[in-house]
Chain A
Amino acid sequence: MGITTRAHGGERRHMAETRKKQGCWRCGCLVIGIPLLILLLLAGYAAAVYFKVPERLGLKQPPAEHLLSSTPDRVAAAEIMDELQAAGVRTEGLSLYVLPVEGRDYNLVVAVLDESQGFKFEGLGGEDVMVEFFKSLALGDASQKHNVGRVAIHYVNNEGVTKVSMTAPTQAIRDYAAGRITRAALLQAIEGKVDLKSMYGEVLP
């Protein structure tokens, strides 16, 4: 009986030692490991989204591919460009694309403002150049003739890097120009994207 008890006591000690040895694996590492794994998975997911891995592997179609793959209307783009030039807007380094939007009854006009190709915000009047540019693209006769329903602006800096991309529905620009909506409402209707790396890289010391 005594021997048995001793034996049981030894087993218990052995079990306790084993538990102590496995403690790191069963508790400590799990406490640290699971959040770490989750963090790693999140970081991997974010990196995959950032570097467009699913699109590159052909697992996901980018929205542009199924919405903007029709033939650009180059005649419309040339007419809008002529109108901007006639209005005194600097067109050097400016490229325009008029793209039919699949499933919608309107076109998207895309302006690439490329400072590395000589673009400057000139001829727009005032300091509020981005809003003025939106208005120039959306409200002209040529834009109305070619049924422009959305405007996008990509600003490329003098090093040829896309810094800011913004888009707005023509209706919101029209409403703002007519004083029907506030500036805050216009900003809410706008969507945008910025090259964060270069933006904060230059702003921060």
Chain B
Amino acid sequence: MTDLLIMILSTIGSVFILLAAVGLIRMPDFYLRVSVTTKAVTLGVGLVLISAAIYFNDISVTSRVTAIIIFLFLTAPVAAHVITRAAYFTGTGLWKKTITDDLKGRYEDKTISLDEGDEEE
């Protein structure tokens, strides 16, 4: 029974990781790549780690796995946001079929900060 649960969880997790890798190859744009990979890989690695916790059935392993999962869930969105912000500043191009770019013209080029005056208009 435990073996079957471990098999199911690790299969779902590794398939999610594979889908994220395929998305990294197939997506046309850097921003789409970030949005598809961060979520899928976080979920996939979380499921594989949970299957390891079920296999060992030990409080020390479970606490370690919980620490890793919480850390991943906290840091993956932050890292994606920071690298996407850097990509937008350095002028990474959008996909040619992108219909809107809300940030265009909102950043001041000199200070690289959001132009707050525009929001009130």
**Do the two shown chains form a genuine complex with each other?**
no
Give me the interface of A with B, judged by CB distance under 8 Å: none
